[in-house]
Amino acid sequence: MHTLPPHFTAVPLDKSYRLLNHGPTVIVSARHAGEHNAMSAAWACALDFAPPKVTVVLDKATRTRALVEGSGFFALQLPTVPMAALTKAIGTDSAVTMPDKLRRHGVQLFDAPGLDIPLVEGCAAWLACRLITEPHNQQAYDLFIGEVVAAWADDRVFRDGHWQFGTAPAELRTLHYVAGGQFYAIGESVVV
Amino acid sequence: MHTLPPHFTAVPLDKSYRLLNHGPTVIVSARHAGEHNAMSAAWACALDFAPPKVTVVLDKATRTRALVEGSGFFALQLPTVPMAALTKAIGTDSAVTMPDKLRRHGVQLFDAPGLDIPLVEGCAAWLACRLITEPHNQQAYDLFIGEVVAAWADDRVFRDGHWQFGTAPAELRTLHYVAGGQFYAIGESVVV
């Protein structure tokens, strides 16, 4: 795996909910027994402040789900505008039928510091999570709960506990999926 | 309660997940035994396509949670940019300590057609939900699951199964909360 990307900066755990609060589409990644994978998911959400927790929906047909269940760890990361095509592609194609889907779609991975979790380059932020196993939720709803154990962001776009979309390069805006290959980028700040 | 607002148009249930997919902040509303309330929540998410389901996090300290548990129904609705101050206010003040918080913050309600659920005027979309009771999730995580039983949108901004933020009036853009009174409006379309 590659070295850490530039601008990769730790986010305090008590601020990590802010990385998901505005509702971005995420890429879910995991590694188990030497196998890694990553898939896109529009259905991820913060669940608690302290300790910080998240929810994410992982369909039974996905290979990434098996790696999450096997390892007990996963990461959520926030793809940026230039990654829209990659994000759609790895949410559509499955490693079950396309084993080289990450390579084919140009996904570059690096290792989360101190954790056996692969992270995706080019994202705006990353949350490393420990699975809180809840068999009923996982079976009945495909709903997974994780505790955030570490978080990082590109310090050009998230700094001092706040998003800096207004001043950061436009290509660092997060993506928010609708359907049919259409996303919206996050927009302008509204302060009350 | 008032009559239906102009532009209030039914959304087919199989498209209703698209109302939440881009991660907007919501207002949660409910009525039980003649009492109604509404509160803001950043932590709401789609959970399934068919039947459509949603998750929402409701703290034990909120009055709205008691009305959801009592009635078994709630609505999620998407406030728009001009509602940012209102959205922050009804997510900060509680009816427990400020019984007239809705009137004080200028919240105008109308009834969901055919359902005993109050809806908030001025929003971009509304999802009426039947609570799927899950005692462990509600107690351990403050996590509530609902099945969407009806959905509507302002047809200037959601039409033909898609958001129309690019052509609709700018004041109909949805809000995405960060923290400390700061939101982002949803931004520009990215199609791949």
Residue B190 inside a domain? The answer is no
How many whole angstroms separate alpha carbon A150 and alpha carbon A52?
A: 10
Residues 161 through 180 of chain A touching chain B, CB cutoff 8 Å: 161-163, 165, 173, 175-180
- When divided into structural domains, chain B yields a total of 1
Residue B39 inside a domain? The answer is yes
For the segment A111-138, what is each residue's pLDDT rounded down to a tens digit?
999 999 999 999 999 999 999 999 999 9
Q: Does A132 touch chain B (CB under 8 A)?
A: no
Pairwise CB contact (< 8 Å): B186 & A189: no
Query: A1 pLDDT exceeds 60?
Result: no
Domain of A68?
8-185
Long-range (24+ apart) CB contacts under 8 A made by B66-70 are: B66/B32, B67/B30, B67/B31, B67/B32, B67/B35, B67/B36, B67/B37, B68/B28, B68/B30, B68/B32, B68/B131, B68/B144, B69/B131, B69/B138, B70/B32, B70/B33
Residue B192 inside a domain? The answer is no
CATH number at residue B109: 2.30.110.10
Residue A67 inside a domain? The answer is yes
For the segment A153-163, what is each residue's pLDDT rounded down to a tens digit?
999 999 999 99
Residue A1 inside a domain? The answer is no
Percent of chain A topping pLDDT 90: 98
Query: A171 pLDDT exceeds 60?
Result: yes
Pairwise CB contact (< 8 Å): B183 & A163: no
**Closest Cα in chain B, distance from residue A31 (Å):** 24
Residue A3 inside a domain? The answer is no
Out of B44, B143, B184, whose CB is closest to A165? B184
* pLDDT lower than 50: segments of chain B: none
Q: Where are the beta strands (DSSP E) in chain B?
A: 8-10, 26-32, 35-41, 44-49, 52-57, 73-77, 109-111, 118-120, 125-132, 143-154, 158-159, 162-163, 175-179, 182-191
Residue A114 inside a domain? The answer is yes
Beta bridge partners of A48: A53
Residue B181 inside a domain? The answer is yes
